[in-house]
Amino acid sequence: MTFFDAFAHLERRVRSCTFLPVRLGRFFSFFALFFVLTLMPAFSYAATVTWISDVDGDWADGANWSTGTPPVAGDDVIIDRPSANVTVSLSNQTEATVRTLDCQENLHLDLAGLAVTNLANIWGEFRLNYSILTVEGGSANFTAHGPTNIDQGIFYINGGAQAALPNATSYTLDEAESGYTLISVTGVGSYLDLSSVQTFDAGKSTGVGPYQSFIASDGGVLDFSGVHTIVSHGGGNYSRFVEQNGGQIDFSLLGQVYGSKTLFETDRTTTFPSLTQGIALEIELTGGAGQVVDFPQLGTLASGGFTIHGGETVNAPLLTMMNG
């Protein structure tokens, strides 16, 4: 299954009024309605729901839960089988929304979605495969403490929420239809910690839209501070990394960008301290007069360039090769 196939499945569920949003604009409008109509009433009826099986099983199977039914929005969920090592799977377009989650076991998402509105700790293996993790609200904090695989994963971290995946060391996407937002970190205090990721394969963007996006906005912070290399593949479209309205993407160790077209779009004064080479890299400054972006180590910018709209300044003292 391609990344696009996964998105197509999830988008159909959104259209039928289930939780998983895919396109960013649709995400915000849908979630606002969902929160008012579904999450808020659930807080008054929160229950503690416990996994009761000592064998691997599916989240959607009510027989695995103490209440006889899967958890619902607002529930506090405990998955802890001290005498067993179980794997709990969310799959086949299952969408789960919980208030808190304490998972001592393995949690695997495959073509599924998990939304958390308060505290979540995953102590076993965490896998986010063709799936969406949503962490929403100022009280929400998600941490994956164990072995972690986020390849093909999608993240929405919003409203002051925080998420940390300290054992994710690579991030690989295969193929996504252009026009989708694969990471969104939005709102003051919102923070996605992917600082242990060292290699980022941005995959292949296909379809009629111009790009696939990774966005930090309105004070949100996306921490890619450990990434050394970004690779994008062919397909006629490109990957787009956006800082807007006080959002920040930390690429402090990024040294090389190459492959198909990659766009960095920023409206703030910033520095790319380690970037030495950009192949098919375009850098667009949108902050207006007074914005300064420094590239102290950049020597080569091939098949790319800078776009300046209204008095922004680029400093690249070592740049000796640039062609569009």
Distance CA 231, CA 147 (A): 24
What was the pLDDT predicted at 210?
Answer: 59
Q: What is the mean pLDDT of the chain?
A: 86
Q: Which CA distances in Å does 51 have to 92, 104, 311? A: 19, 11, 59
Contact 175, 204 (CB under 8 A): yes
**N- to C-terminal Cα distance for the chain?**
35
Task: Write phi, then psi, for 220 (nearest 5 degrees).
Answer: -70, 150
Q: Please give the average per-residue pLDDT across 154-172, as a whole number.
A: 97
CB atoms within 10 A of CB 62: 11
What was the pLDDT predicted at 217?
Answer: 98
pLDDT tens digit string along 21-61?
A: 333 333 333 333 333 333 444 444 679 999 999 999 999 99
Q: Please give the average per-residue pLDDT across 210-214, as a whole number.
A: 80
Q: Please give the average per-residue pLDDT across 259-286, as a whole number.
A: 92
For residue 302, pLDDT over 80 is answered with yes
What was the pLDDT predicted at 202?
Answer: 80
Distance CA 182, CA 203 (A): 11
Least confident of 13-17, 93-97, 180-184: 13-17
What was the pLDDT predicted at 11?
Answer: 47
* Residue 32: partners with Cβ closer than 8 Å, 6 or more residues away: none
Query: Helices (DSSP H) in the chain: which residue ranges?
Result: 3-15, 24-34, 40-43
Model confidence at 156, in pLDDT bands (50, 70, 90)? very high
Domain boundaries, the chain: 3-29+88-323
* Residue 91: partners with Cβ closer than 8 Å, 6 or more residues away: 58, 108, 109, 110, 111, 112
Residue from 254, 271, 253 nearest 262 by CA: 254
Distance CA 263, CA 270 (A): 16
Residue from 162, 51, 159, 157 nearest 107 by CA: 51
Distance CA 203, CA 198 (A): 15
Model confidence at 315, in pLDDT bands (50, 70, 90)? very high
Report pTM.
0.86
What was the pLDDT predicted at 97?
Answer: 97
What was the pLDDT predicted at 78?
Answer: 99
